[in-house]
């Protein structure tokens, strides 16, 4: 793709051709590169029929800090639905003020990812939901204690029964994860300017954003960042062409290698989804880069082997702003009341 002798922006004549012709050609190029809009409606998830009862229960659990040992940290602490679905920190702060090893990915549109976490160690959202609750550096709890906590509150017992009808013992750690997954399926951001444009509204993106899209395609960014989520579908070495410095790529974090123990997976990570990227700084698994244009420049050198000009990095960053969709409106739930048998916080 980078061997073209004429850039897409020039070939399309974005400043010279009639607007309709420009948009038509660019739209076809975007679609042929595998770029897709965020669909409306709930995505189906494997082995977990999504119902209103599960969604409502999952929302409670997502916001309930009592799933953590300290009673302080909830799923929303690190995946704040009010701040782009993440915590806007280099790495998250967990139990006992410990700092986690990696940047917290956004929960928004996570249902469209092939797998969860930077190294893809969780096959889906319900598997992901179990991880942080048990991680000592995050919520530091145990499945048995979580079940005791949930069973100590009559409203949770009632809601689990409605969400998982017919089960003899519906209050389980697995069902907790399924309910959280059902809620997270609703956390999508459709109707971004790019989506409106891709579906035929020529005026939904500015000329600058369209030029940025053409640069994005011309430089080969869509080779890794495609699909609904503009990423989240494949695994690639960070530093495919040229490794970034240790301040961006910490040598002790070998990425997917820690899951597969395969030498070729050293420093391999899941391609970061680019949806809502303009509101989810800082960037990369290390969370070391706060500026979007700087992040684009790093990716150009590390993944494409190209030193992008200032104009090109600015242009791509402007386009990426068109991937910010409608943020989900989530009403904070009133949580079930504790009882005398509810386990006390362990700080």
Q: What is the pLDDT of residue 314?
A: 97
Give ∠ CA 229-230-231 in degrees, rounded to 5: 85
Residue that wins the pLDDT comparison between 204 and 17: 204
In a domain, residue 226? The reply is: yes
Give ∠ CA 176-280-99 in degrees, rounded to 5: 65
**Residue 10 pLDDT exceeds 80:** no
In a domain, residue 178? The reply is: yes
One domain, residues 206 and 265: yes
Mean pLDDT, to the nearest integer, of 121-127? 97
In a domain, residue 119? The reply is: yes
One domain, residues 141 and 202: no
One domain, residues 56 and 170: yes
Residue 127, phi then psi, degrees to nearest 5: -70, -40
Q: Give the residues across from 93 on adjacent strands.
A: 99
In a domain, residue 346? The reply is: no
For this structure, is 138 an active site residue?
yes
**Residue 5 pLDDT exceeds 60:** no
Full-prediction pTM beyond 0.85? yes
By CB neighbour count within 10 A (0-12 exposed, 13-18 middle, 19+ buried), where does 246 fall? exposed
Task: Catalytic residue, from 123, 138, 155, 167: name it.
Answer: 138
Name the residue with tokens 């009808």.
Answer: 165
Output the six-digit token pair for 197: 């444009």
Residue that wins the pLDDT comparison between 59 and 6: 59
Q: What is the pLDDT of residue 7?
A: 52
Mean pLDDT of the chain: 94
Domain that holds residue 280: 2-32+192-323
CATH at residue 77: 1.10.760.10
| pLDDT digits 0-9 by tens, 52-111 | 999 999 999 999 999 999 999 999 999 999 999 999 999 999 999 999 999 999 999 999
Q: What is the pLDDT of residue 16?
A: 38
Q: What is the pLDDT of residue 8?
A: 53
**Residue 3 pLDDT exceeds 60:** no
One domain, residues 134 and 248: no
In a domain, residue 329? The reply is: no
Q: In total, how many domains does the chain have?
A: 2
Residue in 11, 3, 4 with CA at minimum distance from that of residue 214: 11
In a domain, residue 44? The reply is: no
Query: Strands 235-237 and 268-270, how do they pair?
Result: antiparallel
């Amino acid at each position: 793709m980078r061997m073209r002798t004429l850039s897409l922006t020039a070939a399309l004549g974005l400043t010279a051709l009639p607007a309709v012709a420009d948009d038509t050609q660019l739209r076809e190029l975007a679609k042929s590169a595998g770029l897709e809009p965020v669909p409306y409606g709930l995505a189906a998830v494997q082995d977990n029929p999504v119902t209103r009862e599960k969604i409502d229960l999952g929302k409670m659990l997502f916001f309930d800090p009592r799933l953590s040992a300290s009673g302080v940290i909830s799923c929303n602490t690190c995946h704040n639905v009010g701040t782009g679905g993440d915590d806007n920190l280099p790495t998250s702060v967990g139990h006992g003020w410990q700092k986690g090893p990696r940047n917290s990915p956004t929960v928004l549109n996570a249902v469209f990812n092939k797998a969860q976490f930077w190294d893809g160690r969780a096959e889906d959202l319900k598997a992901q939901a179990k991880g942080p609750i048990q991680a000592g550096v995050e919520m530091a709890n145990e499945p048995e204690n979580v079940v005791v906590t949930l069973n100590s509150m009559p409203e949770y017992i009632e809601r689990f029964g409605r969400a998982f009808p017919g089960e003899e013992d519906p209050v389980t750690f697995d069902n907790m994860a399924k309910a959280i997954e059902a809620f997270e399926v609703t956390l999508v951001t459709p109707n971004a300017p790019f989506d409106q444009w891709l579906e035929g509204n020529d005026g939904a993106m500015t000329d600058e954003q369209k030029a940025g899209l053409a640069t994005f395609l011309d430089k080969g960014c869509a080779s890794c960042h495609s699909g609904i989520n503009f990423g989240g579908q494949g695994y690639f070495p960070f530093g495919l062409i040229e490794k970034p410095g240790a301040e961006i790529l910490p040598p002790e974090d070998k990425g997917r290698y820690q899951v597969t123990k395969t030498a070729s997976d050293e420093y391999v990570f899941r391609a970061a989804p680019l949806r809502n990227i303009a509101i989810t700084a800082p960037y990369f698994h290390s969370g070391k880069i706060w500026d979007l244009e700087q992040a684009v420049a790093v990716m150009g050198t590390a993944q494409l082997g190209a030193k992008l000009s200032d104009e090109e990095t600015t242009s791509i960053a402007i386009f990426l702003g068109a991937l910010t969709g409608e943020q989900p409106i989530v009403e904070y739930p009133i949580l079930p009341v504790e009882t005398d048998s509810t386990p006390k916080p362990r700080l």
